[in-house]
Amino acid sequence: MQALQARRRRRSTRRVEDDSQAEARSAGHLPAHLRRTPMSLRIALGVLGLLCLAMALALASQYPLGVAPAMVGVLLAALLARYFWAPWPGWMLALVPLIGLAPWTGWLWLEELDLLVLASAAGGYLAWSGPNRQRPPAPQPPWRHELRWSGPVKLALLGWVVSVAVAAALGLQDAGAGLGWFDGYLEPGFSLRPAKTLLALLLMLPLWLRAARRAPQALTPSLLVGMALLMLGVAWGAFAERLAFTGLTNFSADYRTTSGFWEMHVGGAALDGALALSLPFVLVLVLRQQGVKRFSLAVALLGFGLYVWLTTFSRALYLGVLLGLALTALLAWRQRQHLRRGVADPASSWLTGQVPSDADLPRDPWPGRVGALAMLGVAAWVCWQLFPSSGYRGLIGVCGAMVALLFQPPTLQRAETAQRALVTGLGLVLALVPAGLCALLALAFDKSAYLSYVLAWCSSMVLAHLAWRAPGLWRRPLADALRAAAWFWTLAMTALVAWNWGGDAALQAAWLPLILLAMLWPMTQGGSLGSLLATLSWRTRVGAAGLLLAVGAVVAALGGGAYMAERFSTGAQDFQGRLTHWERALAIVQARQAWLFGVGAGRFVAQAQNNAAVDERVGDYRWAGGAAGPRLVLAAGTHTQGHGELLRLTQRVKDAPAGLKLVLEARAIQPVQLHAELCQKHLLYEAACRAAELNVDKVDWSWQRYELNLGGAGELAERGWPARELVFAVALATPGQKIELRKLSLRGSDGVELLRNGDFSRELAHWFPSSDRHHMPFHMKSLPLHLLFEQGLVGLGLATSLWLLALGRLSLGAAREHPLAPALAGALLGFAVVGLFDSLVDATRIAFLYYLLLALALGLRAPPPVVAPLPAKP
């Protein structure tokens, strides 16, 4: 074995010598086109950058929320891209979930992502063209490029570009008419959304390539940090939404979070796609961290994301994320095994976010990990036993006590059984004093049990910390007894919390599981289990604590609410509905003989509308001008117009004073009923409302003025924290009819106008469509079939080939040793699994993220490590 290791060291030294010589040659003898950018190219890049900036400013000049804020945002993004040109392509991804403002602007096919991409491209290309105060790093030689697409991949990508262009042309031809700033699902603007996404990708990829060649150290950390922050933004939006509307522990309400993805205003799975793409990157971030604080923060971030994942109640996302994270963990483990065996060079190990080697991470023998898993199993059983009677409070108490136990040092592993029993018994006796006092306080003061638990838990953790930091003083028998007393006190306070919440019944259900849990203390402080736990590193203990909290969340979701069980019980029925939906959609392709190149981009909703049964057509809305002046044309669907099935046109308002009154002018040719409401609402589901119906009976097609009292005493203005949005909406509730509206005004008793653009003089600025529960007609509900419908078999074949090629490169090919390979592979797999049951890429921001990661996966490869200077020969 020693001889084998010696040979490996000699081969490694030889490779370093060869690389150092090559590096020395390349430093002075690289071709000129590799040493600096030619002047002609710099001029072209500068022109391209200025063109992108001009387009961004022109688009900002039409921004509905104000020209000045949009232009300031564009210039700021351009400056950041100009002066942080290497990490900015990765950092900018963190902004993607935060810049969807369509409910406020009314833009649907144009959006803030277009401004961000154009501004970033402008800054990046202007930085490329120069001048620069500091000379950019020299390009790496070709054999060190981390990002390089092969000839066949470039050909396949070119085919994909042509396929998207053909689909956009077919879509525009099918839609007819001209483009408008506020085009909806049935209008031509939606046919350009896929092409717009592709254009954004083509603008950004050269900047990724330049960063990979000039500053490769920025590639891995910028993408890793950008995707992790993206997940944080997504998770925070969903967390705040649940906190505002359902509460964090409500798993029974029929409420599906949407976070910041307005694209889900008519259903869809944009949130699912974002989580499937980003969670594997957070897992890799956890695996890469080596410090206690950073590792703990990364674990907390992963736990935060998994909570949001759990509360989506999406069956496809559950499966997709589990498979994606499993593949990520497997590939990361394989990378470490390769390094351990010396099979491959530590590829890209000179990058930030390297694959940790055995020297970087503490080693944990597998029996110790098995012992920790056994403890978690016991804790999960206790949580399951206590939850029905003790609720979330008892569950949190058990999890907290187990976390405190996980971080206790096993100081008695070499002690005799009698000594361990003596210390444990003394700890029990000492714990009786504070436990008894706390019980008396709980009888006298309501809610004091929770404060007593916090005090006990903090005491246990502080004593454990002291035992780790000062073993000479705090690992003596008396100190061990104090630690035991603090932990038993914590366990007793768990029982007190259960009693405080559930009464005597909860206490009767809790005493036996907690006694069994108490038996873990002497077992973990010595003996066989204690000896195993003594081998655990801090990483494993922190990871086990995070896993324990995840187990607690699963117990709460399964035992604390009926909605998840209901979702799984209707799986077969929902799948049958999807099959019927897919058959109808494919019948449209067959009728148009569009199997080869598809029906056209953005035409699914329109074609489904045209080919639907008479009683299944969805509603529509349009802006109209002409001699009658600006007005809104609102048409109701022919399906059942229940409260959740109405097609609403909504607007965010700032206040809800008392005495609300809606004034409008309307005309119709049939008696219709108009629904109006002002609700506390995020996107799809309301918390509180003031609603009324207006009967429009005069049908001579003349404009009539109407007043509708919504009333209220100002109760909607009490929006809680986080503040719930106030959303005004109008909808036509008479199936199959049409109405025209103009001069809408919503005021309270104070006379202040609440609506913007109520006269529709700025077309549909600030007006946003929404359908709470009637979603199927707006989505293909399958990514492969969505591509087949829009781009035909050619587009579907190219997309499938690119995905398979990317996954193969990351798992078995040239990119398998790159630090980003596990995360990219997990993201692509999870996204594909979710995409089996939803379209995903019909949301522009999700399509941009997916195609960007796919393109990077197709070009990523693991270069050899950087050349290290050789030691001087004696």
Dump pLDDT digits (tens) for 132-166.
666 666 666 665 667 889 999 999 999 999 999 99
Q: Let me know whether 527 and 629 are in one domain.
A: no
Co-location of 751 and 623 in the same domain: yes
Same domain, 513 and 406: yes
Give a yes or no: residue 754 inside a domain.
yes
User: Which helix H or strand E contains 680, and what residues bound it?
Assistant: strand 672-681
Looking at every residue in the chain, the average pLDDT score rounds to 87
Reported confidence tier of residue 229, pLDDT bands at 50, 70, 90: very high
Residue 22 confidence class, pLDDT cut points 50, 70, 90: very low
Helix residue ranges, H only, 686-839: 783-811, 821-835
**Residue 753: strand pairing partners:** 747
Same domain, 370 and 507: yes
203 pLDDT more than 50: yes
Q: What is the mean pLDDT of the segment spanning 696-707?
A: 90
Q: Is 873's pLDDT higher than 60?
A: no
Task: Report whether pLDDT(34) > 60.
Answer: no
Mean pLDDT of 714-723: 88
- In this structure, what token pair is assigned to residue 831? 């996204």
| Mean of pLDDT values over 537-541 | 80
* pLDDT given for residue 872 in this prediction: 42
Report the alpha-carbon distance of residue 162 to residue 179 in Å, rounded.
22
* 3-state class percentages of the chain: helix first, strand second, coil last, to nearest 5: 60, 10, 30
**pLDDT, tens only, 358-371:** 444 555 566 767 77
Q: Which amino acid is at 678?
A: L
Highest mean pLDDT pick, 341-345, 377-381, 538-542, 693-697? 693-697
Tell me which range, 239-253, 437-451, 710-724, 746-760, is most confidently predicted by mean pLDDT: 746-760
Is the Cα dihedral 642, 645, 648, 654 positive or negative? positive
Q: Judge whether residue 801 has pLDDT over 80.
A: yes
Q: Are 515 and 358 in contact (CB under 8 A)?
A: no
Which tops the pLDDT comparison, 218 or 77? 77
Residues 529 and 648 placed together within one structural domain of the fold: no
Question: Does residue 422 sit in the same domain as residue 515?
Answer: yes
* 494 occurs within a structural domain: yes
Residues 6 or more apart whose Cβ sits within 8 Å of residue 53? 74, 78, 118, 119, 122, 126
Q: Could you tell me if 761 and 639 lie in one domain?
A: yes
Q: Percent of the chain at pLDDT above 90?
A: 60
Is the confidence at residue 36, as pLDDT, over 70?
no
CB–CB of 331/825 below 8 Å?
A: yes
Domain count, the chain: 3
- Whether 699 contacts 649, CB under 8 Å: no
User: 409 and 514 in one domain?
Assistant: yes
* Per-residue pLDDT, 363: 58
DSSP character for 860? B
CATH number, domain with residue 716: 2.60.120.260
The predicted pLDDT at position 543 comes to: 85
pLDDT, position 141: 61
- Say if residue 17's pLDDT is above 80: no
Instruction: Give domain status of residue 757, yes or no.
Output: yes
Tell me which residue range forms the domain holding 14. 1-30
Q: Are residues 527 and 389 in the same domain?
A: yes
Question: Residue 865 carries which DSSP code?
Answer: P
Confidence of residue 204 (pLDDT cuts 50, 70, 90): very high
Q: How confident is the model at residue 527 (pLDDT cuts 50, 70, 90)?
A: low
CA–CA dist 739, 248 (Å, integer): 41
What pTM, to 2 d.p., does this model score? 0.89
Which residues, 6 or more positions from 118, have their beta carbon under 8 angstroms from its beta carbon?
Answer: 52, 53, 55, 56, 59, 74, 203
Phi, psi of 770 (to 5 degrees): -160, 145
In a domain, 490, yes or no: yes
What b/e string do you get for 826-843 counting C-beta neighbours within 10 Å, with b at 16 or more? bbbbbbbbbbbbbbbbbb
Residue in 639, 637, 646, 608 with CA at minimum distance from that of residue 265: 646
Closest C-alpha among 396, 400, 402, 397 to residue 379: 402
pLDDT higher for 622 or 571?
A: 622
Q: For the segment 826-866, what is each residue's pLDDT rounded down to a tens digit?
A: 999 999 999 999 999 999 999 999 999 999 999 998 765 54
What pLDDT score was predicted for residue 39?
A: 84
Task: Kindly tell me if the per-residue pLDDT of 10 is higher than 90.
Answer: no
Least confident of 180-184, 433-437, 466-470, 480-484: 466-470
Task: Give a yes or no: residue 127 inside a domain.
Answer: no
Domain final residue, candidates 747, 773, 799:
773
HSE of 445, CA atoms in CB hemisphere, 13 A: 9
The pLDDT confidence band at residue 342, using thresholds 50, 70 and 90, is: low
Mean pLDDT over 773-796 rounds to 95
pLDDT band at 551 (very low <50, low <70, confident <90, very high): confident
Give me the mean pLDDT over the 44-57 stretch. 96
Sheet (strand 672-681) strand order: 686-696, 672-681, 726-732, 647-653, 768-771
The verdict on residue 144 lying in a domain is: no
pLDDT digits (tens, 9 = 90+) for 57-111: 999 999 999 999 999 999 999 999 999 999 999 999 999 999 999 999 999 999 9
**Residue 174 lies inside a defined structural domain of this protein:** no
Predicted confidence (pLDDT) at residue 235 exceeds the cutoff of 50:
yes
Residues facing 731 on adjacent strands: 648, 675
pLDDT tens figures, 617-670:
999 999 999 888 999 999 999 998 888 899 999 999 999 999 999 999 999 999
pLDDT number for residue 458:
94
Residues 629 and 495 in one domain: no
Residue 341 confidence (pLDDT) above 70: no
Give the residue, 714 or 59, on which the prediction is more confident. 59
CB contact at 8 A, 347 and 15: no
Indicate if 524 and 625 belong to the same structural domain: no
Using alpha carbons, list the distances in angstroms from residue 238 to 183, 258, 312, 862. 28, 6, 9, 36
Percent of the chain predicted with pLDDT > 70: 89
Range ranked top by mean pLDDT from 134-143, 527-536, 582-591, 706-715: 582-591
The pLDDT value recorded for residue 28 is 43
Q: Which amino acid is at 467?
A: A
Q: Which residues contact 219 (CB under 8 A, 6 or more apart)?
A: 90, 146, 147, 208, 211, 212, 351, 820
Measure the CA angle with vertex 248, ends 836 and 257; round to 5°. Answer: 35
Average pLDDT over residues 389-416: 84
Task: Check whether residue 740 and residue 640 sit in a common domain.
Answer: yes
Q: What is the pLDDT of residue 521?
A: 86
Go through the chain and tell me how many residues it has: 874
Q: Is residue 413 part of a domain?
A: yes
Do residues 610 and 182 lie in contact, with contact meaning Cβ atoms separated by under 8 Å? Answer: no
